[in-house]
Amino acid sequence: MSLASAGTDRLRGMRIDLKTAGPLVALILLCVLGYSLNPLFLAEGNVSNLLTRSAFIGIIAVGATFVITAGGIDLSVGSMAAFIAGMMIIVMNWAVESMGVSVGTVLLGIGCSLILGIGAGFINGFLTTKGKIEAFIVTLGTMGIYRSLITYFANGGTLSLDSDARQIYRPIYYDSLLGIPIPVWVFIVVALIGWVLMNRTAFGRYCMAIGSSEHVARYSAIKVDRVRTITYILQGLCVSLATIIYVPRLGSASSATGVLWELEAIAAVIIGGTVLKGGYGRIGGTVIGALILTAIGNILNLTEIISNYLNGAVQGVIIIAAVYLQRGSFRAGRKKTPAQ
């Protein structure tokens, strides 16, 4: 420490700044591009719509940031969301039939969602830690299970929420508080809590430690299995919250609900600068990643240059480019390392 050399410090500092600011710069460029293609992009209605849409993926991605930082992966989130949505609708419809419609119906649905989300997360966590099965395999399995369960309960079709219950539930998606849509509020709160958890608590530090080296974590008196399981439970909780604000949007769930959400969530995490192998997580980056992904789709919708059908392709290019840039800066860092 006493040997600090100002020159190298400054160089290093700039490199890190560029790296952390990268996703933000990309988002700003994207906004400038969107505005220049169609000024409607920054109109109040569109911005609020964009933020609301990004809330689903964003909330799930905040959970995924913890799972990935701790060296895991959860592929089941999309199917889990569809399954939870279906179960919520079934429970609420049942409640309407037997007890009539009230605010309690919706609260019951929300409670059901929270229990299922936490439970599903616990199952993923338990199987990966105590069952010692690769997270990729466990969540690939649960992904298939939830997807086929929703198809089964919907009898291959669509589950629709009772229209009276939907009237009561509607405001959770469509209303605003202080001019900001409620889903965006939920997103903001989830992201803030996530940021504090990741950066200001021992739990966040443990996630990064486990992701960088499980051995070191274990030898450092960290309860690796417990921390890992909690990351999956957090992920389940985030899926549950996203589903709670998603259900009133359409009031229905089918086997097509939440398809590919897992990949969008993982993409948002990675674009944001979290390392896929684990060990380094950035909640702020994840939020920006979710915004970038939604903004791409939105811009394509507003312009005629590229077909909206190519949304996935553009997202794919952005994801690969983001990871390439991360890799590039890592390699540069290694080259500068003086031996001995």
Partner 1 sequence: MSEATPDGAILSASRVSKSFGEIPVLFSIDFDVRPGEVHAIIGENGAGKSTLIKILSGFEQPTSGSIIYDGDRAVLPPNGEAEARGIVLIHQELNLAEHLSVTDSIFLGRELHRYGLLDLKTMRERARAILDRLDVRVDPDARISSLSVADKQMVEIAKAINRDARVLIMDEPTAVLSVAETKTLFEQIRRLTEQGVAIVFISHKLDEIMALANRVTVLRDGQLIATMNTSALTPDSIAQMMVGRELSNLYPPKKEPDVDAPVVLSVRGLSAPGISNVSFDLRGGEILGFAGLIGSGRTAVAEAVVGLVVPEEGEISLNGQPVAFSDVRESLAAGLAYMTKDRKGRGLLLNMGLEPNLTLATLPKHRRGGFLTASSEHQALERAVRRFDIRARDPSVGVGQLSGGNQQKLLLAKCMESDPDIVIMDEPTRGIDVGTKQQIYHIIAALAAEGKSVIVISSEMQEVIGLSHRVLVMREGRMAGLLEGAEINEAEIMRYAAGVKQGEVS
Token pair for residue 193?
């809590």
CB atoms within 10 A of CB 222: 18
Among the residue ranges 1-9, 75-83, 121-129, 263-271, the one whose residues contact partner 1 (CB under 8 A) = 1-9
User: Which residues, in sequence order, are CB contacts of 47 under 8 Å at separation 6+?
Assistant: none
3 near partner 1, rule: CB under 8 A? yes
Among the residue ranges 54-62, 243-251, 310-318, 331-339, the one whose residues contact partner 1 (CB under 8 A) = 331-339
Q: Give the residue ranges of DSSP H helices in the chain.
A: 6-37, 44-69, 77-99, 103-129, 135-153, 163-169, 171-174, 182-200, 202-212, 214-219, 224-250, 261-271, 283-302, 311-336
10 near partner 1, rule: CB under 8 A? no
- The contact mask relative to partner 1 for 264-283 (x = CB under 8 A, - = no) is ---------------xx---
| Residue with smaller CB distance to partner 1, 207 or 295 | 207
132 near partner 1, rule: CB under 8 A? no
Token pair for residue 267?
């993409």
192 near partner 1, rule: CB under 8 A? no
Nearest to 142 by CA among 117, 159, 108: 117
2 near partner 1, rule: CB under 8 A? yes
- Do 34 and 298 form a contact (C-beta atoms < 8 A)? yes
**Which of 83, 173, 206, 246 touches partner 1 by CB under 8 A?**
206
**Which of 64, 161, 222, 267 touches partner 1 by CB under 8 A?**
222
Q: Using CA atoms, how far apart are residues 242 and 261, in angstroms rounded to an integer?
A: 11
Among the residue ranges 126-134, 216-224, 248-256, 303-311, the one whose residues contact partner 1 (CB under 8 A) = 216-224
Nearest to 235 by CA among 200, 205, 197, 202: 197
How many residues at the interface with partner 1, by CB under 8 A?
Answer: 35
- Do 101 and 216 form a contact (C-beta atoms < 8 A)? no
**Which of 10, 12, 130, 327 touches partner 1 by CB under 8 A?**
12
Exposure string over 111-149, b if 16+ CB within 10 A, otherwise e: ebbbebbbebbebbbbbbbeeeeebeebbeebbebbbeb
- The contact mask relative to partner 1 for 88-127 (x = CB under 8 A, - = no) is ----------------------------------------
**Which of 14, 99, 216, 332 touches partner 1 by CB under 8 A?**
216
Q: What residue ranges bind partner 1 (CB under 8 A)?
A: 1-5, 7-9, 12, 196, 200-202, 205-206, 208-209, 212-213, 215-223, 279-280, 336-340
